[in-house]
Every structure is written in structure tokens, then in C-alpha cells.
């Protein structure tokens, strides 16, 4: 085993620095060592922070790393981007005294420290127990694949894009989630004997029935949501109007130079108030936009992005125009401006947030060169033809307990059953489905 270091420098060069070993052990020493730790109960993926923090506090560093890696194949990713303030840290008993343990930072540190040490507690298994196909290589699909692989199943992951990782790779900027870190966690999963086939859209292979004919005994569907919902207002066809999926995916793919050339020195408007909007706005600023505006139809408080994400955006010089609804793009060929209408908050809607109401006669126009619509995403419309399972509200219906669909040998998880959701929830879906698939193939399930 390689000698450990105070800081793990190899996988986070694009991100803010994390904890050192000294800072991590000092933070762990604040833990109250709760019986039946509430932080562990609050983790959807079952990462068990109560256990790994306890082990770190008593200097059992490898034991702490082992706990994370055994429970969560994306322990580093979740420790980095998971909204811990709304989950495990919110449940932390220490909040009754002063402030919660910084669980996410501890989790990220421990995984990085394990990489630096060369410590890998999960071992390869020979796949002989059955053959399973996974559609999509995001966190849900790869979590399912890993759980099956370490239990001796032959798993093949089919990915439509050039690189694995799903939204982790194509939807999150490198200053929030390092490319090297993503690659490391994915490589660890593939090394367990998982077969990965990229640039292999399932629709080009004859569909799911064809996979069954080829000997796959079960299928886990986790294709994600890649079809962006658009405003559909006048002028949407103008050059310079794009979705956040196109913008972020292009910068993570093969359009870096083209998009940087479009944005540098220009005025950018990002429409939306979620995490994706904050990511798009900050990345536009970092690649040279002159000014970046976030246009949001509700108030600052109603923005679904995490508070720390909004503060980071403000600190980066992003301008927030709240209670503002775009109603028209202007320009002849290329975008020249956005006509906006002021809004006010009315009664709460289905999301429990106050509904925005447009104010007549309040229109104003602002000059804009690039507009990025960061609204929401939905399934590829061709997916329903391929997956003839039961759908509800444009999402696949799957059992809460097993993630089994209306077809017994097909399971599903991630955003395709939830809508846009958290990485930690996708990991939980993959683990839950893997367990159900194993029981089904061994004759213990339905």
C-alpha cells in the first residue's frame, strides 16, 4: 500500500480544495457518537455516515473508507454534490449544540484519501450466476451493475453516448465535479468485471426483447432524462438560444471551442432557478461571458437551487433578476434581446411554492446575445416505443420496494422513474433493483 498523504491532490485539481487529514480528524472528533445515528437514517443510499465518522474519529481510517466504498459506489461524487444540508447534515444531532458535522466533506476526503493510499476494498468477482443488461451508465445504472457484479453476475451496460457517467459527466461542470474523480469511480466499477458498451443506443439493437433473446435474464432501465423542456416563446429558433442540456453537454463533450467562442465577451441570460441554472450561469461566466443574468419568475426564496449554490453564483458576479418571466426573444437571425414581463407571487401551487402571476403592462427588453433555458427535462419520446412497460405522468412506473416494472424481468430506476432527482437517490434505486433482480433470478422474488 502506498504511503498516505495529508491531502489527496490527484483528483480534484479543477475543484475547491477539500479537507486535509488533520481537518478531517478534527471535524470527526466533534461527532456525538449517536446510538442509531440519525445521519445514517437520513441517507437515501445507505452510505452510513454515522459508522464511517465514528471509525475516523477513532483513527480507523481504512475502516471508514471501507464503509463508504461498500455502501456507495459513488461515495466521492455524493460527498461532493449531494445536498447534505437537506439530508444527513440536517438530521445531525450536533445541530442542537452548534452546527452539524460536515458529513459531505468528510466523505469526499475519505474516498480521495483511499485513492492516494492505493486502498481498494471492493474486489473483482467471476460472473457466473446470471446475465443482466443495464441501459444507461449514470449513477443508477452503474450502481446496479456494481452490486450485481460483486455478487457474481455477468453485467453488460449499454450507453448511448461516447462516455459513461450520464448526467455526472455531461451535466455537472468540472469546477463542481472533477472529470478525474468521475472517471476514477466509474473505472472502479468497470474493473469488477462489468462490460461497458458505449455509443450503443438500445433502439438500434432491436429493443429489449432482442436482449432477452440474446440471453439476458433481466434488464435495468436507467436511461435518464435528456429531452429538454423549452419555453417555446417567439424567437426560440434564433441563433444563440439553447437548452442547458446542449450548453453543459457541449462543454463536457466535443463542442468546447465552439461554445466558448459563442459566449466569450457576450451577454448571457440563463432562464431558471435550479441547480442546473446555477451551473450554466457560473460556467458561462468562467469561460469569459461579459455579463451573466439569471432570470427567474419567482422570488429568490422559491429558487430550488441550494442556498450555497446561489451564494456561489452571486459571489461569481452573476446578476439575479427575480420575479421576471421571459415572453419573447428578439433578433433577425441571431439573438439580440429578451422581452421580459414582471411577475408577482400569488397563492401556492402544487409544488407548495407561491404561483407567479404576470403583471400586465410591465414588459421591458434587455439586450442579450446568448439565452440558456435551464428548465426541466423529460424522457426521449422514442423510449416508450422501446420499453412497453407501464408509464405514468411521462415516467416509468416501478415498485417502490423492488423497482420492478409491469414486466417482471424489467426493472427501472433513476430520473426515468422519479423525474430530475438526486445522485444519492439514483444510487439507492440501483442498489434496490440489484437486490430484487438477484432474488428474482434465484426464484425468491415474484
The pLDDT value given to residue 28: 97
In this predicted structure, the answer to whether residue 187 has a pLDDT above a threshold of 80 is yes
Report how far residue 290's alpha carbon sits from residue 278's, in angstroms, rounded to the nearest whole number: 16
**Vertex 63: Cα angle to 62 and 64 (nearest 5):** 90
The architecture (CATH level 2) of 21-117 comes to Orthogonal Bundle (1.10)
In this predicted structure, the answer to whether residue 407 has a pLDDT above a threshold of 80 is yes
CATH topology agreement for domains 131-225+379-441 and 228-376: yes
Nearest Cα to 143, choosing from 194, 218, 105?
194
Torsion angle in degrees (nearest 10) through CA of 148, 150, 151, 157:
20
**Vertex 221: Cα angle to 219 and 224 (nearest 5):** 165
Enumerate the domain spans of the chain.
Answer: 21-117, 131-225+379-441, 228-376
Answer yes or no: CATH 3.50.50.60 is held by domain 131-225+379-441.
yes
The pLDDT value given to residue 12: 57
**Mean pLDDT within 98-106:** 97
The percent of residues above 90 in pLDDT, for the chain, comes to 86
Tell the burial category of 187 from Cβ atoms under 10 Å away from its Cβ (0-12, 13-18, 19+): exposed
CATH of domain 228-376: 3.50.50.60
Q: Are strands 267-271 and 218-221 parallel, antiparallel or unpaired?
A: unpaired
Confirm if 334 and 317 have CB atoms less than 8 A apart: no
Range of 115-119, 176-180, 239-243, 376-380 with top mean pLDDT: 239-243
Q: Are strands 337-348 and 364-367 parallel, antiparallel or unpaired?
A: antiparallel
pLDDT band at residue 325 under the 50/70/90 scheme: very high
Residue 107 sits at φ, ψ, to 5 deg, of -65, -45
Report how far residue 160's alpha carbon sits from residue 158's, in angstroms, rounded to the nearest whole number: 7
Three cell numbers, residue 57: 474519529
Report how far residue 135's alpha carbon sits from residue 142's, in angstroms, rounded to the nearest whole number: 9
Report how far residue 224's alpha carbon sits from residue 210's, in angstroms, rounded to the nearest whole number: 21
**Mean pLDDT within 87-115:** 97
Report how far residue 51's alpha carbon sits from residue 96's, in angstroms, rounded to the nearest whole number: 20
In this predicted structure, the answer to whether residue 207 has a pLDDT above a threshold of 80 is no
Q: Are strands 395-396 and 391-392 parallel, antiparallel or unpaired?
A: antiparallel
The pLDDT value given to residue 1: 38
Segment 243-300, tens digit of pLDDT = 999 999 999 888 899 999 999 999 999 999 999 999 999 999 999 999 999 999 999 9
In this predicted structure, the answer to whether residue 125 has a pLDDT above a threshold of 80 is no
The percent of residues above 70 in pLDDT, for the chain, comes to 96
Element (H, E) at 140: helix 139-149
Nearest Cα to 66, choosing from 115, 122, 106, 137?
122
> What rounded mean pLDDT belongs to the chain?
93
Three cell numbers, residue 188: 472502479
Lowest mean pLDDT among 28-32, 68-72, 200-204: 200-204
Which of 343 and 351 is assigned the larger pLDDT?
343
Lowest mean pLDDT among 154-168, 309-323, 382-396, 403-417: 382-396
Report how far residue 34's alpha carbon sits from residue 54's, in angstroms, rounded to the nearest whole number: 9
Segment 3-35, tens digit of pLDDT = 345 555 455 557 888 999 999 999 999 999 999
Amino acid at each position: 500500500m502506498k504511503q498516505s498523504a495529508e491531502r489527496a491532490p490527484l483528483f480534484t485539481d479543477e475543484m475547491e480544495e477539500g479537507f486535509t487529514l488533520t481537518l478531517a480528524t478534527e471535524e470527526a472528533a466533534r461527532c456525538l457518537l449517536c446510538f442509531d445515528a440519525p445521519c445514517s437514517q437520513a441517507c437515501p443510499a445507505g452510505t452510513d455516515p454515522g459508522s464511517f465518522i465514528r471509525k475516523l474519529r477513532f483513527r480507523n481510517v481504512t475502516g471508514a473508507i471501507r464503509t463508504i466504498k461498500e455502501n456507495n459506489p459513488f461515495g466521492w461524487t455524493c460527498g461532493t454534490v449531494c445536498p447534505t444540508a437537506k439530508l444527513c447534515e440536517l438530521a445531525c444531532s450536533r445541530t442542537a449544540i452548534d452546527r452539524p458535522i460536515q458529513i459531505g466533506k468528510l466523505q469526499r476526503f475519505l474516498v480521495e484519501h483511499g485513492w492516494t493510499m492505493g486502498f481498494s476494498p471492493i474486489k473483482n468477482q467471476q460472473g457466473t450466476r446470471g446475465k443482466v443488461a443495464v441501459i444507461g451508465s449514470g449513477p443508477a445504472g452503474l450502481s446496479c451493475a456494481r452490486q450485481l457484479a460483486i455478487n457474481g453476475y455477468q453485467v453488460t451496460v449499454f450507453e448511448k453516448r461516447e462516455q459513461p457517467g450520464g448526467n455526472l459527466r455531461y451535466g455537472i461542470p468540472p469546477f463542481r465535479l472533477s472529470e478525474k474523480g468521475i472517471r476514477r469511480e466509474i473505472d472502479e466499477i468497470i474493473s469488477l468485471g462489468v462490460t461497458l458498451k458505449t455509443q450503443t443506443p438500445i433502439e438500434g439493437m432491436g429493443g429489449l426483447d432482442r436482449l432477452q433473446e440474446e440471453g439476458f435474464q433481466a434488464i435495468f432501465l436507467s436511461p435518464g432524462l435528456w429531452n429538454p423542456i423549452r419555453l417555446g416563446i417567439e424567437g426560440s429558433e434564433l441563433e444563440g438560444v439553447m437548452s442547458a442540456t446542449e450548453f453543459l453537454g457541449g462543454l463536457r463533450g466535443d463542442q468546447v471551442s465552439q461554445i466558448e467562442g459563442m459566449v466569450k465577451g457576450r451577454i448571457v441570460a440563463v432562464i431558471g432557478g435550479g441547480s442546473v441554472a446555477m451551473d450554466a450561469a457560473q460556467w458561462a461566466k468562467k469561460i469569459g461571458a461579459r455579463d451573466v443574468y439569471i432570470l427567474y419568475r419567482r422570488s429568490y426564496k422559491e429558487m430550488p437551487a441550494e442556498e450555497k449554490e446561489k451564494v456561489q453564483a452571486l459571489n461569481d458576479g452573476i446578476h439575479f433578476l427575480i420575479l421576471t418571466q421571459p415572453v419573447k426573444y428578439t433578433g433577425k437571425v441571431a439573438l439580440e434581446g429578451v422581452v421580459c414581463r414582471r411577475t408577482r407571487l400569488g397563492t401556492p401551487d402544487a409544488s407548495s411554492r407561491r404561483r407567479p402571476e404576470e403583471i400586465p403592462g410591465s414588459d421591458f427588453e434587455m439586450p442579450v446575445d446568448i439565452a440558456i433555458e435551464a428548465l426541466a427535462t423529460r424522457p426521449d419520446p422514442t423510449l416508450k416505443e422501446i420499453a412497453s412497460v407501464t408509464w405514468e405522468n411521462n415516467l416509468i412506473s416501478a415498485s417502490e420496494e423492488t423497482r420492478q416494472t409491469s414486466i417482471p424481468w424489467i426493472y427501472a430506476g433513476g430520473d426515468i422513474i422519479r423525474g430530475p432527482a438526486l445522485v444519492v437517490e439514483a444510487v439507492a434505486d440501483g442498489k434496490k433493483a440489484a437486490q430484487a433482480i438477484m432474488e428474482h433470478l434465484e426464484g425468491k422474488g415474484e
